[in-house]
A = this chain, B = another copy of it.
Amino acid sequence: MGYQAYLQLLDTDLTGGLLAGKEIISSGMTQELTRAGRAIEKALAGNDVCLVSSGDPGIYGMAGVILELLAKEGDSKIPLEIVPGVTAASSCASLLGAPLMNDFAVISLSDLLTDAKVIEKRIRSACQGDFVIVFYNPKSKKRTKPLEKAREILLRYRSPQTPVGVVRNARRADEEVILVPLKEMLMVKQIDMGATVIVGNSKTFTKGSYMITPRGYERKQNKNTKLQIPNQFQ
């Protein structure tokens, strides 16, 4: 069972009939509690249930919804396995270059579930710590203020030239990858619920179409190893 759009992604020539022979239960967006409740009911009735989540189910996904419901239930005996996936931060970073080579913070801009003031506090703290910041759920048609506020806060701490990478529908047919300086972030029309936004730290730079956050190899002193950097790179 799962959000209908994700189930469609499983039912393609590429996946070769993963849904064949199974009872399919789909539902719409924002129905997470209902969907999780039905999954638990079906499992308690003796079925094997696969609850589909996009990316990694443990990062803002269905794993927590299921576990929170089971925790309320008190003493559930349902055998459960959470299968990790490739989260949006990783898939989007791989299309931008290597923006996550140093410490980073992941923040959801969805103020449906988290108070806007808490989100702002998180953004400020992430800036003060000079983290690369990955924004999930950056914007929707109705919800535009959190992203505007985020940029306002970011510009108090970071250069307006800080690289910002936007990836929409990563690894799907209509994937889009955009790189802009922070000052132009709000002009990127591709930022919607299908996008992930990665804001560089104070050392992130661009080279061609790549966004790169240094790991710190220039600091490294390894007394035991002779670094053999090919001549053309010295």
A94 within 8 A of B: yes
Q: What mask results when residues 11 to 54 of chain A are scored 1 for a CB within 8 Å of chain B, else 0? A: 00000000000000000001111100110110000000000000
Residues of B within 8 A of A228 (CB): 33-34, 37-38
| Contact across chains for A233 and B72 when beta carbons are under 8 A apart | yes
| Contact across chains for B103 and A217 when beta carbons are under 8 A apart | no
Q: What mask results when residues 84 to 124 of chain A are scored 1 for a CB within 8 Å of chain B, else 0? A: 11110011011101111111111110001111001001101
Per the 8 Å Cβ criterion, residues 198-219 of A in contact with B are 205, 207, 210, 212-217, 219
How often does this chain occur in the complex, in copies?
A: 2
The stretch of A1-9, A128-136, A143-151, A181-189 that contacts the partner chain: A128-136
Evaluate whether A233 and B126 lie within 8 angstroms (CB atoms) in the complex, with A87-B90, A213-B64, A217-B65 already known: no
Per the 8 Å Cβ criterion, residues 134-163 of A in contact with B are none
| Contact across chains for A67 and B129 when beta carbons are under 8 A apart | no
Residues of B within 8 A of A98 (CB): 58, 63-64, 66-68, 82
| Contact across chains for B230 and A114 when beta carbons are under 8 A apart | no
A173 within 8 A of B: no
The size bracket of the interface on A is: 35 or more
Evaluate whether A100 and B32 lie within 8 angstroms (CB atoms) in the complex, with A71-B212, A112-B220 already known: no
A232 interface neighbour in B73, B97, B100, Cβ under 8 Å: B73
Evaluate whether A34 and B225 lie within 8 angstroms (CB atoms) in the complex, with A71-B210, A94-B58, A215-B64 already known: yes
A176 within 8 A of B: no
* Residues of A in contact with B (beta carbons under 8 Å apart): 30-34, 37-38, 40-41, 56-61, 63-73, 82-87, 90-91, 93-95, 97-108, 112-115, 118, 121-122, 124-126, 128-131, 205, 207, 210, 212-217, 219-220, 222, 224-225, 227-230, 232-233
